[in-house]
């Protein structure tokens, strides 16, 4: 009887140790997920420039820069949302690198959807903007 009681006590301790280990692993996983959710803008830029679209989509939130949200909308075929966000990017900082990227994405949307007239108009706007910056 004593042997079985000692074995049961040892088994219980092993179970408790395993449960503590599982709780620690769960805490690490939760912390990792929280860190991913709060990804800094630099990480989003890296995903954007590396064309890691699925990872970018997972990392972008409602608080992310408009350009990142627009990139996700462009790549995953939501042209209405993308165009609205891209126009806002261009309007808010017309001489920025973000505006350059925004024009490029707008041109991509128009070309992909067969809106050649809008493509030409947007291309001329961008060319005019570029000439004025020289």
pLDDT digits (tens, 9 = 90+) for 34-75: 445 545 667 989 999 999 999 999 999 999 999 999 999 999
Rounded CA separation 127/86 (Å): 17
Note whether 71 and 94 are within 8 A (CB): no
Among 133, 47, 39, which Cα is nearest to 93's?
133
Collect all residues with Cβ–Cβ distance below 8 Å to 128 and sequence separation of at least 6.
none
Model confidence pLDDT, tens digit, residues 88-104? 999 998 888 999 999 99
Q: What is the mean pLDDT of the chain?
A: 81
Could you give the CA distance from residue 133 to residue 27 in angstroms, rounded to a whole number? 52
Of 8-12, 23-27, 32-36, 92-96, the range with the lowest mean pLDDT is 32-36
pLDDT, residue 89, reads 95
Residue ranges of the domains in the chain? 1-38, 40-133
């Amino acid at each position: 009887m004593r042997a079985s009681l000692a074995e049961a006590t040892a088994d219980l301790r092993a179970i408790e140790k395993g449960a503590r280990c599982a709780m620690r692993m769960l805490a690490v996983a939760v912390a990792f997920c929280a860190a991913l959710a709060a990804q800094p803008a630099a990480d989003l830029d890296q995903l954007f420039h590396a064309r890691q679209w699925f990872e970018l989509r997972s990392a972008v939130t409602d608080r992310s820069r408009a350009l990142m949200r627009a990139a996700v909308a462009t790549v995953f075929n939501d042209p209405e949302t993308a165009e609205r966000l891209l126009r806002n990017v261009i309007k808010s900082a017309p001489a920025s690198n973000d505006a350059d990227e925004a024009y490029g994405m707008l041109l991509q949307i128009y070309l992909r959807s067969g809106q050649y007239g809008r493509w030409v108009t947007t291309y001329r706007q961008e060319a005019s903007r570029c000439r004025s910056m020289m």
